[in-house]
């Protein structure tokens, strides 16, 4: 949230090319969503809710990246004012991109498998009301 307040104004005023909203509001939405998912994952909530939350998080990230790639989205650093993590570390950008993609695939796959196994092993129940 610190970056949303004191971040580079030029970067925060840019519109996201896919969702057509200002980056400041997109990052605020992402931060709130991630905080909500973190609360669910760290809470004593039932495991199926945790699996759904993790699945939703990785699906959201993966879908955004997939749409950006398929629709030929611009470089996320369109204003040229943010820089890249690879500017600070001695790693090739292609390697970092591959690691991020691998992290997304691993996270999405692990939550998907766990979610499917949970729902397949849990027999459906019917809610009964006392009327």
Domain span at 83: 2-121
DSSP for 66-105?
Answer: HHHHHTTPPPTTTTS-S--GGGTSSS-HHHHHHHHHHHHH
pLDDT tens-digit series, residues 72-88: 777 665 566 656 666 77
For the chain, give the percent of residues with pLDDT over 90: 0
Write down the pTM of the prediction.
Answer: 0.62
Domain membership flag for residue 131: no
Cα–Cα separations (whole angstroms), residue 26 to 11, 29, 66, 75, 104: 12, 5, 18, 16, 20
**Alpha carbon of residue 108 to chain centroid:** 10
Domain count, the chain: 1
Domain membership flag for residue 51: yes
Domain membership flag for residue 108: yes
Domain membership flag for residue 126: no
């Amino acid at each position: 949230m610190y970056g949303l307040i004191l971040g580079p104004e030029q970067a925060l005023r840019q519109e996201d090319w896919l969702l057509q909203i200002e980056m400041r509001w997109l990052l605020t939405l992402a931060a709130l969503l991630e905080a909500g998912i973190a609360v669910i994952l760290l809470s004593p909530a039932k495991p199926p809710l945790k699996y759904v939350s993790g699945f939703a998080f990785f699906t959201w990230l993966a879908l955004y990246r997939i749409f950006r790639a398929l629709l030929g989205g611009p470089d996320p650093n369109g204003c040229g004012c943010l820089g890249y993590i690879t500017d600070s570390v001695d790693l090739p950008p292609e390697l970092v991109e591959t690691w991020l993609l691998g992290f997304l695939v691993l996270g999405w796959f692990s939550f998907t498998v766990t979610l499917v196994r949970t729902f397949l092993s849990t027999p459906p129940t019917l809610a009964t009301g006392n009327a």
